[in-house]
Chains A and B, each alone.
Chain A
Amino acid sequence: MTDMSDIAAPEALEEASFLRDTLRTFSRNRMAMIGLIFVVTLVLAAAFAPWISPHDPYRVALDEQLLPASTTYWLGTDNFGRDVLTRILYGARISLVVGIVPSLISLAIGTVLGILSGYLGGRTDFVVMRLADMMIAFPSLLLAMVVMYTLGANLLNIFFALALVGWASVARVVRAQTLALREKEFIEAARANGTSRSRIMFGHIFPNVIPTLIVLFSLSIPEAIMWESSLSFLGVGVQPPEASWGLLVAKGKEYMFQAPAVAIAPGVAILLTVMAFNFIGDGLRDALDPSMKD
């Protein structure tokens, strides 16, 4: 006896790939695609900055201070006669690295602690969540500044400060999701198979959290870029002559009236990049949500 419901057409099987569905939904989202193109262009431009720009970002030319935009200097020069556009391209390197690395660190810490907290519950949950509460209740900018002041302003400490500030919200989201997942029947089924707790947490729950993590990642990159900008603007982040966008804005603000582009151009770069990442994040969230699929 054949049962029609049991025999799904095999071609339907291959079409229904999760990844392909996700990519299709994502590519239909115009804003997300614009964001993606912007970010890819930016990454390439930052990576190949020395070949793209004819100028040296560190060369001081006191006879070419605060020049307006021209065909040689597309966005003009700053107070040391350095090309603003070139400084922005080189600044993108630091800003992007600062966006990505601390996000990855806080994501890793937050995921592990969130899953442990949500699945094990009890005392583990209490300790982790009270720590997270403390991190969230404490003014994060102040905390990051304190870390930078005491440890010194360099890139490694920026990573540390931002990860310290960022893991708590990740842990909360992951914990909430773990709490929902642990009641699912497939977790019960895994338990009924004799699956160990660690295998359930990292073999069964973790893969289900990945879509959330991707979205969190894409949303925490712009946040980290903003954080770095704030810290650099306040003078405890990246130090001159290195360039990061926040630092460029900070240094440029003194010449706001003579040469507004020096401060505004990197500010616009921050704005556009943050927006682009946010669009990507929104697009990913919609694309990874099965209920949004047709």
Chain B
Amino acid sequence: MADYDPILSVRNLRTEFSGGRGDVRVLDDVSFDVGRGKIIGLVGESGSGKSMTALSLMGLVPKPQGRVNAGSILLDGTEISKLDAAGMRRIRGRDIAMVFQEPMTSLNPVRRVWEQVGEPLAIHKGLGRSAIRKRVLEMFEMVGIPEPQTRLDAYPHQLSGGLRQRAMIAMGLICEPKLLIADEPTTALDVTTQAQILRLMRDLRDRVGTSIILITHDLGIIAEMCDEVNVMYAGQMVEQANVFDLFENPSHPYTRGLLASIPRATEARVARRMPSIPGMVPNLAKLPPGCRFAPRCRDAMPTCQRPPDLETVGTGHVARCWLHAGQTALQSEATR
């Protein structure tokens, strides 16, 4: 383990929002690592805190209501969670870049594509226009935009969704960041384009060695793309494992529920309804006292009234569930 040196190491991250009725903790004690050159997945339903994790890493939590209150974020050994606004600006786009969900609206409609894709170079490297243009052309070739020369001067509305997302990825990678955060990069695309974009991201990881955090709610994408998986629920990590362990031995009932909700063609004739997890993600202002998933959990037991910790299930595999609590904990529960 001595040579284990992740590019990003997040520890006990806590992000809170203050609203009309007091503070809401949208991220509670979130810890995870991103290994160099790895693609790690962040999965969960809407409202589980995936995107908020990304924004917290980027220092883009909406102010003044939201703020990161505790925890540390080590990027390549440097603490970035305590940086001021100007310091964070220097990191964004240069060391951490982000690709957003909606390629249709992520580009400024009134500016030419090459100017936008090359803007990080102007901001962080102070390059001149012709140097930027040349570099954008290279990036367009790299991300597989056909006829890149003619696309440079296009406006966003002249490109298809797939091309725009390629352009966004080119923009994300143009300063060769240490980490790329892709927040549901393919949700808004049709299935064939989706596959191409995912393949492109994996290729780029293999060629350039960029580490990627992939946020998605699609476990199919996770299985295809990721090395490690973090499952989030109601602002907490509930299960962390490498991708093979997670699919072979899902240990948190929530993860099992998610896996069971993947529609399977072979079952189509047998199952009348697609299986789903009953209930909804709890309101973060009114969380259940113990395990946050307990009200929806089919394995819930009396112990679940107390908050569970992350328990080790296997090598590098943890789950926040009483089912996996160490033998001692169970015994002490029994004698009480």
Give A contacts to B, CB under 8 Å: 1, 3, 5-8, 10, 12-13, 16, 18, 184-186, 188-196, 199, 204, 207-208, 210
B190: CB under 8 A from chain A?
Answer: yes
Do B147 and A207 touch (CB < 8 A)? Answer: no
B239: CB under 8 A from chain A?
Answer: no
B60 interface neighbour in A184, A188, A210, Cβ under 8 Å? A188
B-side contacts of A6, CB under 8 Å: 146, 160, 162-163, 193, 196
B-side contacts of A1, CB under 8 Å: 196
How many whole Å from A85's CB to the nearest CB in chain B?
44
B107 interface neighbour in A5, A13, A186, A195, Cβ under 8 Å? A186
Which B residues, 104 to 131, have Cβ-Cβ distances below 8 Å to chain A?
Answer: 105-111, 119-120, 123-124
- In the assembled complex, the Cα of A16 lies from the Cα of B119 at a distance in Å of 24
Which B residues, 168 to 194, have Cβ-Cβ distances below 8 Å to chain A?
Answer: 168, 171, 190, 192-193
A-side contacts of B92, CB under 8 Å: 191-194
Do A195 and B123 touch (CB < 8 A)? Answer: yes
Do A194 and B93 touch (CB < 8 A)? Answer: yes
- In the assembled complex, the Cα of A8 lies from the Cα of B60 at a distance in Å of 35
A-side contacts of B58, CB under 8 Å: 192
Assuming the contacts A189-B100, A190-B119, asked whether A5 and B155 have C-beta atoms less than 8 A apart, the reply is no
Which B residues, 21 to 37, have Cβ-Cβ distances below 8 Å to chain A?
Answer: none
Do A186 and B158 touch (CB < 8 A)? Answer: no
B150: CB under 8 A from chain A?
Answer: yes
- In the assembled complex, the Cα of A185 lies from the Cα of B108 at a distance in Å of 9
How many whole Å from A23's CB to the nearest CB in chain B?
16
B142: CB under 8 A from chain A?
Answer: no
Do A191 and B60 touch (CB < 8 A)? Answer: yes
A7 interface neighbour in B97, B120, B146, Cβ under 8 Å? B146
B-side contacts of A12, CB under 8 Å: 158
A-side contacts of B101, CB under 8 Å: 185
- In the assembled complex, the Cα of A7 lies from the Cα of B166 at a distance in Å of 13
B306: CB under 8 A from chain A?
Answer: no
Do B120 and A193 touch (CB < 8 A)? Answer: yes
A-side contacts of B150, CB under 8 Å: 10, 13
Scoring B89, B110, B161, B192 by chain A CB atoms within 10 A of each residue's CB, the highest score goes to B110
- In the assembled complex, the Cα of A207 lies from the Cα of B105 at a distance in Å of 16
- In the assembled complex, the Cα of A262 lies from the Cα of B92 at a distance in Å of 68
Do A194 and B60 touch (CB < 8 A)? Answer: no
A-side contacts of B60, CB under 8 Å: 188, 191-192
Give B contacts to A, CB under 8 Å: 58, 60, 89-94, 97-98, 100-102, 105-111, 119-120, 123-124, 146-147, 150, 154-155, 157-163, 168, 171, 190, 192-193, 196
Assuming the contacts A5-B190, A6-B193, asked whether A189 and B106 have C-beta atoms less than 8 A apart, the reply is yes
B107 nearest CB neighbor, chain A only: A186
A-side contacts of B100, CB under 8 Å: 185, 188-189, 192
Scoring B90, B111, B124 by chain A CB atoms within 10 A of each residue's CB, the highest score goes to B111
Q: What would 10 A/B residue contacts be, using CB atoms closer than 8 Å?
A: A5-B160, A6-B160, A16-B157, A188-B60, A189-B98, A190-B119, A191-B92, A192-B97, A196-B123, A208-B110
A-side contacts of B158, CB under 8 Å: 8, 12-13, 16
Do B168 and A3 touch (CB < 8 A)? Answer: no
A209 nearest CB neighbor, chain B only: B110
How many whole Å from A98's CB to the nearest CB in chain B?
31
- In the assembled complex, the Cα of A7 lies from the Cα of B93 at a distance in Å of 28
- In the assembled complex, the Cα of A6 lies from the Cα of B147 at a distance in Å of 11
A185 interface neighbour in B102, B146, B159, B190, Cβ under 8 Å? B102
Assuming the contacts A8-B158, A194-B123, asked whether A186 and B146 have C-beta atoms less than 8 A apart, the reply is no
- In the assembled complex, the Cα of A184 lies from the Cα of B130 at a distance in Å of 29
Assuming the contacts A193-B97, A193-B171, A194-B93, asked whether A208 and B193 have C-beta atoms less than 8 A apart, the reply is no
- In the assembled complex, the Cα of A208 lies from the Cα of B98 at a distance in Å of 23
B-side contacts of A196, CB under 8 Å: 89, 123
B-side contacts of A13, CB under 8 Å: 150, 154, 158
Do A194 and B155 touch (CB < 8 A)? Answer: no
Assuming the contacts A5-B161, A194-B89, asked whether A204 and B111 have C-beta atoms less than 8 A apart, the reply is yes
B-side contacts of A5, CB under 8 Å: 160-162, 190, 192-193
Closest 7 CB pairs of A and B: A193-B93, A194-B93, A194-B92, A192-B98, A185-B105, A207-B110, A194-B89
A10 nearest CB neighbor, chain B only: B150
B-side contacts of A18, CB under 8 Å: 110, 155
A7 nearest CB neighbor, chain B only: B146
Do B161 and A199 touch (CB < 8 A)? Answer: no
- In the assembled complex, the Cα of A13 lies from the Cα of B163 at a distance in Å of 13
B163 nearest CB neighbor, chain A only: A6
